[in-house]
Amino acid sequence: MHFTKPYIISLLIVITLPTMLFGKDTPLRYNLHIRPILSDRCFVCHGFDKHGRKADLRLDIAEHAYAPLTKGEGFALVPGKPDASVVWQRITTSNRDKIMPPNDSLHRLSANEKSLIKQWITEGAKYEPHWSFVIPTRPEVPKTPTTHGLKWGNNPIDQFVLSRMQQAHLSPAPCADKRTLIRRVYLDMIGLPPTIAQVDAYINDKSDTAYEKVVDQLLASDHYGERQALPWLDAARYADSNGFQGDGDRFAYPWRDWLIKALNNNKPFDQFTIEMLAGDLLEEPTTEQLIATSFNRNTMSNGEGGAIAEESRFNYVIDRIHTTATTFLGLTIACAQCHDHKFDPFTQKEFYQFSAFFDNINDTKQLQINTDYHKYIMFNPTLKLPGNDEIDKKLIVAENALKKIGKENLIINALTSWCKKLSEEDVNRYPKEIIPYIKDIRVTDNAKISKRKLQQWYVEHISKDPKHKSFLKLIGEIHALREQIPYVLIMKELEGKKKRKTVVHPTGLYDDISDQEVFGGIPAVLGTLPAGNANRLSLATWIVSPKNPLTARVIINRYWQGFFGRGIVKTPEDFGAQGAWPSHPLLLDWLAIAFQESKWNVKHIHKLIVTSATYKQDSHFEDEKHAIDPENIFLARGKRSQTTWPPR
């Protein structure tokens, strides 16, 4: 088979990527080179989950891997001596019964992976704590490097990026032309293309600050919050209906509006997070802070008749764990619902400790607003939004007037009686769309099938009773008024004797209840919460504290992905052992610290990114660069236009 030169170069780059990143003579790094192999091939049977562990052997922790094997077979790992290490013996043996991973396993090791493991053992088999579980510190910014003898870059982002490029023998692309650049930044910042007048104004502005002025205008635009809200809507599972079979409508838009407003006002990210996760637990929370908690009420809600209320409530809790953990922590904690996590150090008990933060929301009782035209089925707790006094007054007047006329069966009884008196021949004289309903009433006495449509027709064409017309008119007014008063889903804790006891569910099923009670807590590998009765507020406060190694990195990574199409960590919702290694780890940590030190100023970070020379590069496609870095991991060119294909 014949391969082209660019293909061969690309293949070599994939294989030797770690060497490109750290240099030819750099010793292997456990986190970069070895952990991904062990995690993918070995941890299922020899990792954190004690229930799935084989041969009582753990390879995820050094002290276990260095200890004598229980059956007296020697040591799994002998640092510096691969031939004396049982791990090396078992992955290279020709004995089909002893080879690891087993021959019938899907987790086979390649020759290159075996070579890396041997080299790692030879160099001392040194373990490292997982990079994302270590609190970031501010790295030193690389000295301003040059490309082709010239300085390049606008801010520290560029210094980190150029340093990486040069390790891969790449150089940056020139700045994109002004038309391309203004279109790019407009679409990324506000989701709309610039007008002809805006393009012309930028092109004609010859000042050194022309681009920065455009960026500032975009940051101040109301459309900024609308565009930047999109990934948050996705993360929160936002929808204007409940999902499942009925998919009834819900009033979800007040939270969406709160979100857009918070982003436009540049609400500090720490306060933004605390209000979304625990705004109801703040002292004397405002209406806005209560609305913010709807973030974790965007989960699907099951209003089907056959649904088991407690099973549905349990599923809502699970979804909130997943939403909170993946959005803010970049962790797959929800994998530990049924057993200890297979890859990361999270126990099943710790999963249910985390669930305790969300287990005391009473969201099983339905609040129905049935207008016949629409059916809003929501689950308490809800908040009736204020500012509707005039509507409330009109609603009271209309409802009192309705009481004076009578109940709904005033029409239904008359309608049913009329249908019963009709002969089969009479029925067929009426409009085709009405006939099935008339026949249904004649057979089943079921006057509620499409009653609005049938009642409306009956009153307009058959009934002579003036009360009927007044009744329908008032019903229509009441429904129209009710639709104007939204009830937003919020978080609210059960109190006193109503509080639930959270327990471990051994098989992860709602009705498999153990006697093991647990209280709110986080996985031990991430630290501990302050002493006392931990709740969602203490969780939210920890999430945005300097003691949490994850959130600043995770959110910076999401912002980076928004502007470059790919995060510094390619797996934005998984910073665990199965997640990708960051392409620019020092840059990620520098930005995370800068984010915190800016007092969590989102617009500051966004401006820093889009004013960097890295972001402003031309996206011209070059075969040589593509051969070295086909995914543009090292950012030696701008991102391709989403409206242009093929790329050159």
Taking only the tens place, the pLDDT of each residue in 247-283 is 778 889 999 999 999 999 999 999 999 999 999 999 9
Asked if residue 14 has pLDDT above 50, the reply is no
User: Can you tell me the mean pLDDT for 576-595?
Assistant: 95
Give residue 481's pLDDT band: very low, low, confident or very high (50, 70, 90).
confident
Asked if residue 603 has pLDDT above 70, the reply is yes
Gap between the Cα atoms of 578 and 567, Å rounded? 16
Asked if residue 546 has pLDDT above 70, the reply is yes
Question: Which residue did the predictor score with more confidence, 398 or 646?
Answer: 398
Residue the block writes with tokens 């498999």 = 512
**pLDDT digit string (tens) for 224-254?**
999 999 999 999 999 988 888 777 788 899 9
Q: Is 445 helix (H, G, I), strand (E, B) or coil?
A: coil
Q: Is 396 exposed, middle or buried (0-12, 13-18, 19+ CB in 10 A)?
A: exposed
Torsion of CA 15, 18, 22, 28, to 10 degrees: -110
- In 3D space, the residue among 199, 203, 265 whose CA is nearest the CA of residue 228 turns out to be 265
Asked if residue 370 has pLDDT above 90, the reply is no
Asked if residue 335 has pLDDT above 90, the reply is yes
Asked if residue 408 has pLDDT above 70, the reply is no
Gap between the Cα atoms of 117 and 119, Å rounded? 5
Strand partners, 377: 368
User: Can you tell me the mean pLDDT for 77-95?
Assistant: 91
- Chain-centre distance of CA 70, in angstroms? 42
Question: Percent of the chain scored above 90 by pLDDT?
Answer: 53
Q: Is 227 helix (H, G, I), strand (E, B) or coil?
A: helix
Gap between the Cα atoms of 485 and 479, Å rounded? 10
The answer to whether the beta carbons of residues 157 and 604 sit under 8 Å apart is: no
Asked if residue 43 has pLDDT above 80, the reply is yes
Q: For position 26, what pLDDT does the model report? A: 56
Lookup: tokens for 165: 């490029």
Q: For position 263, what pLDDT does the model report? A: 98
Give residue 476's pLDDT band: very low, low, confident or very high (50, 70, 90).
confident
The answer to whether the beta carbons of residues 342 and 47 sit under 8 Å apart is: yes
Lookup: tokens for 263: 């982003």
Give residue 621's pLDDT band: very low, low, confident or very high (50, 70, 90).
confident
CB atoms within 10 A of CB 237: 17
First to last CA, the chain: 28
Asked if residue 63 has pLDDT above 90, the reply is no
| Residue 101: cis peptide before it, omega within 30 degrees of 0 | yes
**pLDDT digit string (tens) for 102-112?**
888 777 889 99
Lookup: tokens for 424: 């089969």
Q: For position 480, what pLDDT does the model report? A: 82
Gap between the Cα atoms of 447 and 482, Å rounded? 24
The answer to whether the beta carbons of residues 539 and 610 sit under 8 Å apart is: no
Q: Is 39 helix (H, G, I), strand (E, B) or coil?
A: helix
User: Can you tell me the mean pLDDT for 415-436?
Assistant: 84
Instruction: Please provide the DSSP assignment of 591-618 as one string.
Output: HHHHHHHTTS-HHHHHHHHHTSTTTTB-
Q: For position 446, what pLDDT does the model report? A: 55
Residues in the chain: 648
Angle between helices 451-461 and 409-421 (to 10 degrees): 70
Lookup: tokens for 623: 């075969």
Q: Worst-scoring range by mean pLDDT, 9-13, 131-135, 484-488, 631-635?
A: 9-13
Asked if residue 648 has pLDDT above 50, the reply is no
- In 3D space, the residue among 619, 593, 621, 623 whose CA is nearest the CA of residue 608 turns out to be 593
The answer to whether the beta carbons of residues 232 and 205 sit under 8 Å apart is: no
Strand partners, 382: 489
Asked if residue 366 has pLDDT above 80, the reply is no
Write out the H or E segment, with its range, that includes residue 463: none
pTM over 0.85: no
Q: For position 149, what pLDDT does the model report? A: 67
Write out the H or E segment, with its range, that includes residue 366: strand 366-370
252-275 b/e (C-beta count within 10 Å ≥ 16 → b): bebbbebbbebbbebbbbbbbbbb
Q: For position 9, what pLDDT does the model report? A: 35
Gap between the Cα atoms of 307 and 90, Å rounded? 51
**pLDDT digit string (tens) for 199-230?**
999 999 999 999 999 999 999 999 999 999 99
The mean pLDDT of the chain is: 87
The segment with the largest mean pLDDT, out of 142-151, 231-240, 294-303, 411-420, is: 231-240
Q: For position 12, what pLDDT does the model report? A: 37
Q: Which residues contact 405 (CB under 8 A, 6 or more apart)?
A: 467, 470, 471, 474
- In 3D space, the residue among 343, 292, 281 whose CA is nearest the CA of residue 493 turns out to be 281
Gap between the Cα atoms of 35 and 17, Å rounded? 15
The answer to whether the beta carbons of residues 303 and 246 sit under 8 Å apart is: yes
The answer to whether the beta carbons of residues 340 and 346 sit under 8 Å apart is: yes
